[in-house]
């Protein structure tokens, strides 16, 4: 039996009940264009192939890649060997449906990378560490709310679907997992005029959580700017929603122009 590799953060899903729950949540249609990140031993790959005309997978482990090539014909399974963090999702087509049991050690980085290509995605379903999912859909003012929450909620509608116990994996991780659904907004609810500036402001606001906005955004915002937006300058970043950050960014961008 294939041994998981620690350097890739591999925890292989083995609970068929959880697999069926995921298939029920995803509802693959034969003609859907699916990309699976990290197929591993095929817990999701095999049921997806049973439901799809064709499946794309991204895998960095050479042994797994070779095994997949031997077991599945190229007309059913396209294998993209390499790092998912370097994969160009936008070049893979439109209306992509992305799925995966993501390695804990790079899950946040993958989420940010996929967000850069959100316009090419129809939806995404991931199994992640439950703590990460809690951060993804957290509300302002809660302990889990932070930079990840704001950056993802700007671009995606996010829904936590169900929890998964450690016993569902080999080896069993020390934490629970959750399955999350992400759907990119067709029209953004709140539009930042400068998205690079938006990312910069959000990073500054959460860089030192104990500091007030007046301190974290010093050099970008004057006290009078906060008053104009009716935002308390002694508030902290975790108290602001996505719309508030967008208003801050648009004011700064307008001042620059």
Q: Would you list the domain boundaries of the chain?
A: 6-184, 195-256
pLDDT digits (tens, 9 = 90+) for 36-64: 999 988 999 999 999 999 999 999 999 99
- The arrangement of secondary structure in 195-256, i.e. its CATH architecture, is Orthogonal Bundle (1.10)
The residues, any chain, with a CB within 8 Å of residue 131's CB and separated by 6 or more, are 144, 175
How far is Cα 257 from Cα 246, in angstroms, rounded to an integer? Answer: 16
Q: Residues 213-243: pLDDT tens digits? A: 999 999 899 999 999 999 999 999 999 999 9
Q: In sequence order, what DSSP letters do the residues of 101-154 get, joined into one string? A: E--GGGHHHHHHHHHTTGGGEEEEEEEEEHHHHHHHTPPTTSTT-SHHHHHHHH
pLDDT tens digits for range 84-118: 999 999 999 999 999 999 988 899 999 999 999 99
Domain 6-184 architecture: 3-Layer(aba) Sandwich (3.40)
Segment 28-42 mean pLDDT? 95
What global pTM score does this model have? 0.92
**What average pLDDT does this structure show over 162-167?**
96
């Amino acid at each position: 039996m294939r041994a998981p590799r620690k350097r890739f953060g591999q925890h292989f899903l083995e609970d068929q009940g959880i697999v069926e729950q995921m298939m029920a949540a995803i509802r693959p249609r034969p003609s859907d264009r699916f990309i699976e990140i990290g197929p591993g031993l095929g817990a999701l790959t095999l049921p997806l192939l049973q439901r799809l005309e064709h499946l794309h997978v991204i895998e960095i482990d050479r042994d797994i890649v070779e095994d997949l090539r031997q077991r599945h014909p190229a007309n059913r399974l396209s294998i993209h060997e390499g790092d998912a963090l370097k994969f160009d999702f936008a070049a893979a087509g439109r209306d992509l449906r992305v799925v995966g049991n993501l390695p804990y050690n790079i899950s946040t980085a993958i989420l940010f990378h996929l967000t850069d290509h959100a316009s090419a995605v129809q939806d995404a379903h991931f199994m992640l560490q439950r703590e990460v999912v809690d951060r993804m859909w957290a509300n302002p003012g809660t302990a889990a709310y932070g930079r990840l929450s704001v950056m993802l909620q700007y671009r995606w509608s996010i829904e936590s679907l169900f929890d998964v116990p450690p016993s569902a994996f080999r080896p069993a991780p020390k934490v629970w997992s959750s399955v999350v659904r992400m759907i990119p907004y067709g029209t953004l609810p709140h539009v930042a005029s400068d998205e690079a500036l938006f990312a910069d402001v959000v990073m500054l606001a959460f860089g030192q959580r104990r500091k007030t906005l007046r301190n974290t955004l010093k050099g970008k915002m004057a006290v009078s700017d906060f008053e104009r937006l009716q935002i308390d300058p002694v508030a902290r970043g975790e108290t602001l929603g996505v719309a508030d950050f967008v208003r801050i960014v648009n004011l700064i961008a307008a001042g620059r122009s």
